[in-house]
Structure 1
């Protein structure tokens, strides 16, 4: 885990790059106690060890289905799967879960060092408790993502490409129809792909969305009023309200999802899972 020192940190942005309802700004200063955060998202290998030790059954396994982006499905699977209203490129696929991220015909056998996906926030909390950790607040996540800099877009700088080099895993091409894979990956990448930020955190931008501790789209000022311990105490219950997710994923594209930035915010219902949603853990310093 990466140690982040106690201190005053700026979070949020005054730029108008995102969606107004996400409440990315105005930028504020927060006072944070010392904390630790995982250098990488939790891998399939780590999650498998948790399941083997506890016999845990994920929400997607209980439901018998989960959400998969159309790009990873054959036509036969699409025909027998439910298309999601207003998001026609997503399907609810029977048999999709963390072991089979794109449905029963898929496998993680060759992806043990990739981030675990198809995990709900409830699943992430269960893993965190087993590991003696917790989820990070958005404030902690954003401070860690900056890597000790004052950057609001990307850990590596203000420009997405530097000398034609890709630093994260997102969608290139005609979204949602054609992914050119110019960054080297059409799906998830191993968790230590690309260079870490200056703190040593890998891939906090792109690859997979990451569950956070607090409810979605709360005022940034709340992080000066409520500690991580209080959020952890109050929001471990199983429910389906909207919770924060951060970082974007391999399915983000500038034409649709502009949230693959440090300051960008988003949310999802706590029992939801998909093949681009994972998590990393934190704990008190």
Structure 2
């Protein structure tokens, strides 16, 4: 693991990043969901990756410097019907509900955005070190450009998430909870109505690093990648999709890593091979990002 002012070759490793050496790995899985098949070899060249997802504090610095206004903070533009600024927020149900109906636990909340992650009455107090959420793909790429970085490809993301453990189900190995230990911020209980701890993001770095020194590669928040989603993957988004803004043509992107809402019983997406599609105009309380530098 390298970071800070150490040197990789002739280039200093950027602060807050680690070097991911290039190589080849088996991408995908034959064990879980159809969209992860087939297992295929993928090669990547070396790159630097953020140790943790981008935080609220880091995103606030970007907004202060640039004046960027996120999609969740803007009304729609013609000819799209008028839409009050807002974003998708998870609502824990009072009891069991049909898991095929995502509208049971997702609500489009006016006034929800990265500054107000649970709705207009919420704030970022005590959340500066949590991953930023309610950012669209465009919002994420705007930050990356300002920081002199990029978003990862799906192959780069999965290669890094595996942390050198070729073929393992999780970044830490094949056992879900080794020695009974929770390894990521995921849903423990009966989704979407009963959980051992309150649902929500956790501070970045609260769980162990993988073999490359990366935190939160699964769980906590889904992360944007640059890859367009295939037609097969696009038919099953992670949650209901907002009406796209006419000013932002929509493309489905691959998101990776699962989130604090993922559970083995309902989706089991907190694995390197797991993947979902998200319209790049959508934002939600479980969707964030991290950057790479090539």
Superposed pair shares fold, TM > 0.5 = yes
Please state if 1:93 is matched with 2:112.
Answer: no
Please state if 1:5 is matched with 2:18.
Answer: no
Q: Map residues 86-165 of structure 1 onto 2, 5 A cutoff.
A: 86-165=102-181
Q: Which residue of 2 aligns with 1:43?
A: 55
Please give the alpha-carbon distance, in whole angstroms, between the structure 1 residues aligned to 2:288 and 2:183. 19
Give unpaired runs (5+ residues) of structure 1.
Answer: 73-84, 220-236
TM superposition outliers: structure 1 runs of 4+ over 4 Å? none
Query: What root-mean-square deviation, in Å, do the aligned CA atoms of Structure 1 and Structure 2 show?
Result: 1.9
**Residue of 167, 179, 183 corresponding to 1:167:** 183
- CA positional deviation for 1:266: 0.6
Q: Map residues 103-252 of structure 1 onto 2, 5 A cutoff.
A: 103-181=119-197, 186-217=199-230, 238-252=248-262
Q: Which residue of 2 aligns with 1:70?
A: 91
Q: Which residue of 1 aligns with 2:5?
A: none
1:186-214 CA distance string (max 9 Å, x none): 31111111110010000111000000011
SS in 2 for 1:145: helix
- CA positional deviation for 1:8: 2.1
Please give the alpha-carbon distance, in whole angstroms, between the structure 1 residues aligned to 2:138 and 2:43. 28
Q: Which residue of 2 aligns with 1:223?
A: none
SS in 1 for 2:175: coil
Give the length in aligned residue pairs.
249
**Residue of 270, 274, 279 corresponding to 1:269:** 279
- CA positional deviation for 1:11: 1.2
Please give the alpha-carbon distance, in whole angstroms, between the structure 2 residues aligned to 1:37 and 1:154. 19
Please give the alpha-carbon distance, in whole angstroms, between the structure 1 residues aligned to 2:167 and 2:275. 15
SS in 2 for 1:254: coil
**Residue of 7, 10, 14 corresponding to 2:30:** 14
1:144-199 CA distance string (max 9 Å, x none): 00111114411111111111110001111121111112xxx631111111110010
1:242-279 CA distance string (max 9 Å, x none): 10100000011222222111111111110100111000
Q: TM-score, normalised by structure 1?
A: 0.83
SS in 2 for 1:126: helix
Q: Which residue of 2 aligns with 1:260?
A: 270
Please give the alpha-carbon distance, in whole angstroms, between the structure 1 residues aligned to 2:218 and 2:231. 21
* Distance 1:154-1:86 versus aligned 2 partners, 3 A rule: closer
SS in 2 for 1:10: strand
